[in-house]
């Protein structure tokens, strides 16, 4: 489905967008015909309200956030060119990525994130974060499944040491720490605050053969 936005001549692609999700509103089927008709009317009303808000959104970023969080990624995938033309594609990718992932979580839909990051303008993406302070350094990634695959790694050795110590006690869960030597050119994005020093690596680096398992620092 496509909608024409009057304010900016944008044509949104709503393919595979559900609009309404449980438990905000019941999305199933009632056996009672009267209740089913009432529920269908409510669903259509909610959908119509969302479409109206999107039609009057000033920016693609605002339009995306109007939708339910479960529709955000699909909406972004459907409308990549509009986000790029507005200069907010990289910001949108990062915002959604960090809502759903952390550096020590093996996450779903790796191929989707890989695709989205590969669609980013490298310079614009890098400038969304802080300058990477190293020309060469070791990055680490923790995995509860023993699978190192993932774009997010950390250079915060205190964080790594905490996980190494915690995972020695199997009653507290367990996992594996992987290490990879990287250079500035391998980094797509870097963020740093009081708790983290996290990087997003180029997929070809994150999927490389030089990843090793470590038991201590």
Q: What pLDDT digit, counting tens, does each position of 28-81 carry? A: 666 777 766 776 777 788 888 899 999 888 899 999 999 998 999 999 999 999
Q: How many CB atoms are closer than 10 A to CB 202? A: 18
How far apart (Å, rounded) are the C-alpha atoms in residues 197 and 190?
7
Q: What pLDDT digit, counting tens, does each position of 136-188 carry? A: 999 999 988 888 888 999 999 999 999 999 888 777 678 899 999 999 999 99
Instruction: Write down the pTM of the prediction.
Output: 0.85
Phi-psi region of 13 (alpha: psi -120 to 50; beta: other; left: phi over 0): beta
Domain parsing of the chain, residue ranges: 2-87, 128-214
Question: What phi and psi values does residue 24 have, to the nearest 5 degrees?
Answer: -60, -35
- pLDDT band of residue 27 (cuts 50, 70, 90) is low
Would you say residue 191 has pLDDT above 50?
yes
Question: Which pLDDT score is estimated for 22?
Answer: 73
Phi-psi region of 16 (alpha: psi -120 to 50; beta: other; left: phi over 0): left
């Amino acid at each position: 489905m496509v909608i024409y936005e009057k304010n900016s001549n944008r044509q949104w692609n709503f393919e595979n967008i559900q609009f309404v999700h449980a438990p905000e509103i019941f999305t199933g089927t009632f056996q009672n015909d009267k209740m089913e008709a009432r529920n269908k009317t409510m669903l259509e009303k909610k959908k119509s309200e969302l479409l109206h808000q999107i039609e009057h959104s000033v920016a693609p970023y605002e339009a995306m956030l109007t939708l339910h969080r479960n529709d955000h990624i699909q909406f972004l995938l459907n409308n990549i060119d509009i986000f790029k033309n507005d200069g907010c594609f990289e910001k949108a990718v990062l915002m959604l990525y960090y809502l759903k992932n952390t550096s020590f979580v093996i996450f779903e839909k790796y191929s989707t994130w890989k695709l989205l990051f590969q669609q980013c303008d490298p310079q614009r993406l890098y400038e969304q974060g802080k300058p990477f302070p190293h020309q060469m350094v070791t990055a680490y990634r923790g995995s509860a499944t023993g699978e190192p695959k993932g774009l997010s790694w950390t250079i915060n050795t205190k964080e790594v040491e905490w996980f190494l110590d915690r995972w020695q006690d199997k009653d507290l869960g367990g996992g594996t720490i992987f290490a990879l030597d990287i250079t500035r050119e391998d980094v797509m994005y870097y963020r740093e605050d009081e708790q983290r020093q996290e990087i997003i690596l180029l997929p070809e680096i994150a999927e490389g053969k030089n990843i090793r398992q470590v038991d201590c620092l």
